[in-house]
């Protein structure tokens, strides 16, 4: 199929509000998050230590995966007598400050999870037996605790705080933003309300990144559904410091094949999406490690030149995504969404040298690829 794609949208990038003034996340943050790997009850300090070791040992740390984020279920069932949060004593016997020190010793940064309401997502969905461990009424205390522990990144997850606690999303997220801003320690602020209230329209002055969709599953159908949702969100992108977040990577998980994982990563790269691995880095296959660690694909993700990737064309069995790159070039994803091998092409006005970023070689001047089912080509177009 031949797609005639005109990048006229580059001439009409929207005006957006300023990014959160904390000076952080100038490029999309990258790292590892515990949730997709172990979910709730299997989370331990050893899991986190081993993930930090593997990021360093596999080269992923040096490729840019710097944040080690402990998701839900790190908390003890109740707060301490003074109201402060504490780690589960059986699964985190050395405490969070010690764990953060270990992560830092491996040349990495440390992240943690909290919620604006009274209960966490695992309390609601995973039978996590706890009470009062949400930050509602403890925002300042929790922020100060995170600062003392050496936290560098906070994932702040909505978890039904409207229906359970009557909270307003924007106001609740702003409250923790202000408490973090008062700390001497800089902390990247990631909020997650699953795109329900269109946070891309209001969250830029509030957080460094915001979820645009519900949880991403480790299936091709889920990846495609999430990709489709980004088509309407991308037009709201703006300057660095605030990023649309289509959720953590599922590379290496579930039923995703190597081709599907690479296609998933290709689109996330063109979206300037935060890149958080969600599997055991020490157990990645060679193909999946090469996908996560591809320096040329990562460079596309980290290159923001005025607009994140947009869907340029789509039809039965195919999609084309593209975005500008620094230096006047473009990154293009040719995506075969169908179940048979197909050729996907794009006619981009101009004269280009085309490089295949998965094959790591120049492939001529045409923007075209013959693709297996559920696979993608990630191409870099450089002006000739």
Q: How many residues can be counted in the chain?
A: 384
157 is catalytic: yes
Name residue 156's beta-bridge partners: 114, 191
- Asked if residues 301 and 268 have their Cβ atoms less than 8 Å apart, the reply is yes
Work out whether strand 243-245 and strand 318-324 pair parallel, antiparallel, or are unpaired. unpaired
CA distances from 213 to 225, 299, 383 (A): 10, 24, 35
- Asked if residues 71 and 32 have their Cβ atoms less than 8 Å apart, the reply is no
The DSSP code for 150 is: T
HEC secondary structure over 273-286? CCEEECCCHHHCCH
Name the token pair of 377: 């080509």
Instruction: Please give the Cα distance from 234 to 220 (Å, whole number).
Output: 21
Given 3-state DSSP classes, what are the helix, strand and coil percentages for the chain, each rounded to the nearest 5?
30, 20, 45
Out of 71, 72, 142, 157, pick the active-site residue: 157
Out of 126, 165, 214, 215, pick the active-site residue: 215
Number of other residues whose CB lies within 10 A of the CB of residue 44: 18
Could you tell me where the DSSP H helices lie in 159-257? 161-165, 169-181, 220-233
Query: Could you list the active site residues?
Result: 157, 215
């Amino acid at each position: 199929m031949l797609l005639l794609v005109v990048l006229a949208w580059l001439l009409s990038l929207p005006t957006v509000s300023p990014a959160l003034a904390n000076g952080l996340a100038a490029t999309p943050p990258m790292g590892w998050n515990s949730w997709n790997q172990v979910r709730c009850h299997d989370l331990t300090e050893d899991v986190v230590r081993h993930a930090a070791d593997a990021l360093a040992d596999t080269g992923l740390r040096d490729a840019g995966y710097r944040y080690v984020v402990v998701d839900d279920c790190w908390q003890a069932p109740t707060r301490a007598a003074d109201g402060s949060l504490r780690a589960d004593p059986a699964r985190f016997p050395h405490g969070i400050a010690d764990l953060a020190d270990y992560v830092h010793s491996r040349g990495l940064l440390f992240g943690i999870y909290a919620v604006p309401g009274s209960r966490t997502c695992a309390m609601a969905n995973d039978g996590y037996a706890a009470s009062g461990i949400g930050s509602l009424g403890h925002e300042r205390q929790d922020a100060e605790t995170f600062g003392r522990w050496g936290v560098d990144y906070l994932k702040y997850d909505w978890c039904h705080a409207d229906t359970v606690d009557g909270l307003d999303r924007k106001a609740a997220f702003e409250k923790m933003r202000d408490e973090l801003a008062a700390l001497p320690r800089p902390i990247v602020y990631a909020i997650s309300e699953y795109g329900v209230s269109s946070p891309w329209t209001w969250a830029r002055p509030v957080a460094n990144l915001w979820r645009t969709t519900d949880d991403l599953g480790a299936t091709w159908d889920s990846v495609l559904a999430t990709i489709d949702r980004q088509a309407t969100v991308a037009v709201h992108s703006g300057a660095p410091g605030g990023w649309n977040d289509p959720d953590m990577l599922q590379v290496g998980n579930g039923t995703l094949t190597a081709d599907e994982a690479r296609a998933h990563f290709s689109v996330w790269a063109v979206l300037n999406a935060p890149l958080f691995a969600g599997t055991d880095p020490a157990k990645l296959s060679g193909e999946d490690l090469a996908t996560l660690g591809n320096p040329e694909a990562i460079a596309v993700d980290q290159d923001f030149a005025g607009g994140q990737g947009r869907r340029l064309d789509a039809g039965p069995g195919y999609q084309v995504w593209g975005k500008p790159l620094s230096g006047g070039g473009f990154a293009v994803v040719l995506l075969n969404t169908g179940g048979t091998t197909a050729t996907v092409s794009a006619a981009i006005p101009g004269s280009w040298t085309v490089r295949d970023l998965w094959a790591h070689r120049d492939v001529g001047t045409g923007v075209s690829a013959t693709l297996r089912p559920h696979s993608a080509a990630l191409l870099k177009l450089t002006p000739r």
